[in-house]
Amino acid sequence: MDSIADICDTFCDNLSEFNTKGEPIDMRRYLGALTMDVICSCAYGINSESINLRRPSIHPIVANVKKIQGVDASVSMLTSVLAPGVAKMLRLELFDKNALNYFDELTNQIMNERKTINKQIADKLRLTNLRTDFMQLMINSEKSDKDFGYDSTSEGDPDVSTKHPTRRPTSQLTPDEITAQGIAFFIGGYDTTSAALTHAIYYLSLHPECQQILYKELKTCDDFTYEKLGHLKYLNAVINETLRLAPPLTRFQRQCLQDYKLGNTGITVPKGTSIEIYTYALHRDPEYWPNPNDFIPDRWFEPTHHPYAYIPFGSGPRLCVGQRFAINEMRMCLAMLINRFEFTLAQKPQLDYFICNTLMSPKNLLVTLESRE
């Protein structure tokens, strides 16, 4: 939480430059940069400095993440899912190969550096754990591929016929898995969290009275710590209400594993059917939410909704693994931003979205900001 607080603090300092100019700024772009810096720092311990608004070039890690998540990547991914035959014929890769190689090398480099440096310092100080980023947690549980009889250059699972153990302890990771988890962190956490923060600033700019209530609540808090932010009722209500109206992932999928009778409807879903769960529609269903299209944070003070009527992070065993991380990042970022600035919408009330995307991703958000100090 300290790294997130430091990054948000620098972000606010950089934003304050815009205060005097009074010109509209695109918060979508800057919140994207902020989220990128938080992930780079918390996952890899890297300071990518995207929020340094004067920096002329972007950090290679940011460039490579963008290759993995860019438009070309969406086209190959969509083709691979909808028409795997065509994708194979066109030799489309699910992810950009060069970008994957970059992450492979970066992970190996960080792991080697950490092991050497940590060993030296640990020997000196008799410590075992020196960093607390995600990469370090994974390194702590790493075993070499060979320990598991697994050849990372092959494409399949470990060879069952070898004398090596084929059942790996599930608590330990191979280097390939560490790289994959690092990339998953970006894919799962970057655009989702930056879209959520953009929507929160959007709704607060559209409803200045709610922004003022939040500001007053923040003034009662002497220090933005993990514990204290968790107890701020209105801040958490604003986050919940934002994720209800604008769930960054508008839908997710499941596959039916056995024939399933849907209550008394007379419908049986056959085994093997793909099911689409449409979060956006559930979140705005008037059967569960009075005035479903209105931004009303107060409805979260004593919530009475059905537990499955609110599922911005999914549900069940494949629930979003980054849920708590994302919520804590949003709490810190919103608290710091609203505490320092007053935001006013500087565009038409509706947002424009990228279409053909499961992500509810606004193209931009124009606001002006005024310092409260």
Closer to ligand HEM by CB, 18 or 103: give it. Answer: 103
Reported as type and span, the H/E element at residue 332 is: helix 323-340
Q: Token pair for residue 180?
A: 């994959």
Q: Token pair for residue 85?
A: 């035959």
Residues 6 or more apart in contact with residue 349 via CB below 8 angstroms: 206
Closer to ligand HEM by CB, 215 or 280: give it. Answer: 280
Q: Give the span between the Cα atoms of 69 and 256, in whole angstroms.
A: 29
Closer to ligand HEM by CB, 33 or 118: give it. Answer: 33
Residues in contact with ligand HEM by CB under 6 A are 184-185, 188-189, 192-193, 196, 248-249, 252, 312-316, 318-322, 325-326
Q: Give the span between the Cα atoms of 300 and 97, in whole angstroms.
A: 45
| Closest to 333 (Cα-Cα) out of 199, 207, 160 | 199
Residue 96 CB, shortest distance to ligand HEM, in Å, is: 19
| Closest to 248 (Cα-Cα) out of 320, 180, 297, 306 | 320
Residue 372 CB, shortest distance to ligand HEM, in Å, is: 26
Closer to ligand HEM by CB, 118 or 335: give it. Answer: 335
| Closest to 34 (Cα-Cα) out of 333, 372, 359, 354 | 333
User: Are 311 and 319 contacting, i.e. CB atoms less than 8 angstroms apart?
Assistant: no
Residue 143 CB, shortest distance to ligand HEM, in Å, is: 21
Cα–chain-centroid distance for residue 293?
A: 24
DSSP-assigned beta bridge partners for residue 254: 275
Closer to ligand HEM by CB, 334 or 342: give it. Answer: 334
User: Residue length, the chain?
Assistant: 373
Q: Give the span between the Cα atoms of 72 and 348, in whole angstroms.
A: 30
Residue 317 CB, shortest distance to ligand HEM, in Å, is: 7
Closer to ligand HEM by CB, 185 or 310: give it. Answer: 185
DSSP-assigned beta bridge partners for residue 353: 362
Residue 157 CB, shortest distance to ligand HEM, in Å, is: 19
Question: What number of H helices and E strands is found in the chain?
Answer: 13, 7
On whether 320 is known to bind a ligand per the annotation, the reply is: yes
Closer to ligand HEM by CB, 149 or 188: give it. Answer: 188
Closer to ligand HEM by CB, 149 or 314: give it. Answer: 314
Closer to ligand HEM by CB, 14 or 315: give it. Answer: 315
Residue 232 CB, shortest distance to ligand HEM, in Å, is: 18
Judging by beta carbons within 10 Å of its beta carbon (0-12, 13-18, 19+), is residue 92 exposed, middle or buried? Answer: middle
Q: Tell me the DSSP string of 294-317.
A: S--GGGGSS--S-GGG--TT--GG
Beta-strand pair 366-371/341-345:
antiparallel
User: Are 129 and 114 contacting, i.e. CB atoms less than 8 angstroms apart?
Assistant: no
Reported as type and span, the H/E element at residue 211 is: helix 208-219
SS (H, E, C) 218-232: HHCCCCCCHHHHHCC
Residue 242 CB, shortest distance to ligand HEM, in Å, is: 9
Q: Tell me the binding residues.
A: 320
Q: Tell me the binding residues for heme.
A: 320
